[in-house]
């Protein structure tokens, strides 16, 4: 008697079905074979409109048992199809085929508006929203709209403060996996992003982007009071203290206030006696770099401060101020 098998059915289910057939050899084999095939089909494929098969992990329901099996790979991490270039795994073969185009450089999907090409049809579909301006996914809390559902999902973590991606070294949480990946470079010391001008390395792409402004001269952050430009937003914030008079950094020894953290750090050397700035010619130490710079003029003979009355030059501004007083007497 022939055995009927349906692909993707568990081995134990197949064995159970075959043994049931063998126990009923007395009945007409053709009729029973068809009946058993129909019964088994009903077992693995739900009636129209029903979804009786559910995932034990997340409760999601499916019409076909084979779809549950495929879905379970999300939870188990089982990915049958692996890339032989980078080792990345995929649950379905067609996902792997799409992924391989990243390595081959193949981009079969072209935008009919700007001729930009993409390796995946979904990437082209997302790109087309750039031209249409379509943003179909709104945030229910703040109303911000997004082109992609995934971007909205990431955005929602701002409101929920959800940080599902946790560093295994320091337990710091992140809302996005890409941020965790970038953070891990802090622990490994890895610097994936390199400046194309001076080859300096950075652990995060944002740090490289900020660094590039040194070479380009770009200063996108402008003071609303004096119009002075800055390459970093943090530098602008510190600068604003000049106008507001705010001195949020207080010395724990003498309670003197400073507008910038670095200024407080330099001031602390007064109390500790630390002189980290050393002259390379005479080994004299200084608590602040500006004092070392002034001292170096002793060796170079440079006198940049000139009296407007008699044209006498000085190496230090303080010396010029004292000299000017002699003309006022």
Is there a contact between 114 and 103 (Cβ–Cβ < 8 Å)? Answer: no
Is there a contact between 154 and 171 (Cβ–Cβ < 8 Å)? Answer: no
Report d(CA 90, CA 101) in Å as an integer. 14
pLDDT of residue 73: 64
CATH number of 277-328: 3.30.160.60
C-alpha separations of 64 from 52, 137, 196, 242, 251 in Å = 8, 30, 53, 68, 69
pLDDT of residue 78: 62
Is there a contact between 271 and 254 (Cβ–Cβ < 8 Å)? Answer: yes
CA-closest candidate to residue 142, choices 161, 155, 129: 155
| Ranges of CATH 3.30.160.60 domains, the chain | 53-132, 277-328
Q: 53-132, superfamily in CATH?
A: Classic Zinc Finger (3.30.160.60)
pLDDT in tens, 145-166: 888 788 888 788 778 777 888 8
Token digits of residue 132 = 């249409």
What stretch of H or E contains 118? strand 117-118
Q: Which stretches of the chain drop beneath a pLDDT of 70? A: 1-50, 70, 72-79
Tell me the pTM.
Answer: 0.35
pLDDT of residue 143: 84
C-alpha separations of 176 from 75, 155, 315 in Å = 19, 10, 55
């Amino acid at each position: 008697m022939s055995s009927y098998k349906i692909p993707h059915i568990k081995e134990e289910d197949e064995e159970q079905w075959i043994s049931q057939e063998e126990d009923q050899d007395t009945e007409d084999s053709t009729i029973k074979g068809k009946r058993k095939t129909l019964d088994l089909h009903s077992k693995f494929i739900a009636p129209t409109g029903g979804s009786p098969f559910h995932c034990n992990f997340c409760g999601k329901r499916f019409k076909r048992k084979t779809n549950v099996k495929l879905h379970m790979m999300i939870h188990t991490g089982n990915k049958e199809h692996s890339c032989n270039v980078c080792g990345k795994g995929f649950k379905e073969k067609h996902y792997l085929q799409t992924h391989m185009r990243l390595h081959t450089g193949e981009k079969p999907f072209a935008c009919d508006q700007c001729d930009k090409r993409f390796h995946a049809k979904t990437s082209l579909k997302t790109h087309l929203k750039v031209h249409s301006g379509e943003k179909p996914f709104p945030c229910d809390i703040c109303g911000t709209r997004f082109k992609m559902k995934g971007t909205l999902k990431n955005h929602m973590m701002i409101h929920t403060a959800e940080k599902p991606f946790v560093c295994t070294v320091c337990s710091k949480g992140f809302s996005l996996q890409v941020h965790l990946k970038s953070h891990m470079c802090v622990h490994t010391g890895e610097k994936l992003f390199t400046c194309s001008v001076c080859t300096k390395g950075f652990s995060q792409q944002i740090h490289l982007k900020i660094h590039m402004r040194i070479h380009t001269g770009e200063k996108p952050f402008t003071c609303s009071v004096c119009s002075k430009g800055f390459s970093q937003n943090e530098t602008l914030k510190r600068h604003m203290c000049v106008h507001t008079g705010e001195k949020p950094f207080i010395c724990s020894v003498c309670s003197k206030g400073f507008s910038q953290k670095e200024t407080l750090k330099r001031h602390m050397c007064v109390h500790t006696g630390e002189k980290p700035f050393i002259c390379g010619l005479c080994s004299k130490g200084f608590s602040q770099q500006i004092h070392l710079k002034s001292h170096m003029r002793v060796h170079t003979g440079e006198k940049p401060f000139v009296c407007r009355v008699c044209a006498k030059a000085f190496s230090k501004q303080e010396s010029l101020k004292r000299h000017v007083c002699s003309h006022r007497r």
